[in-house]
Amino acid sequence: MEKGLLMVVHSLIIALVIFVILFLILKQSKSVAVDRSIFVGSLVLLYMILFGHGLPTKVNSNLF
């Protein structure tokens, strides 16, 4: 399984991309775009910590 810090970086990149889409393309206000992108980024991080980058076949063994 990948290292946790790599997953944090990947979720940060995903959150930044979502922010750009929400703010520049969908024309949402800055505060709404920030909050929503942080929310989605945190969900992505939680998923990647639990299951890694792949499909959820098994839980990360480093957690237990």
Domain count along the chain: 1
Total residue length of the chain: 64
Q: Is the dihedral of CA 33, 39, 45, 48 positive or negative?
A: negative
List per-residue pLDDT tens for the chain, 64 residues long: 578 899 999 999 999 999 999 999 999 999 999 999 999 999 999 999 999 888 988 898 888 8
- The helix or strand, by DSSP H or E, that contains position 4, with its residue range, turns out to be helix 4-20
Domain residues for the domain of 36 are 4-63
Q: What pLDDT score does 53 carry?
A: 86
The pLDDT of residue 63: 86
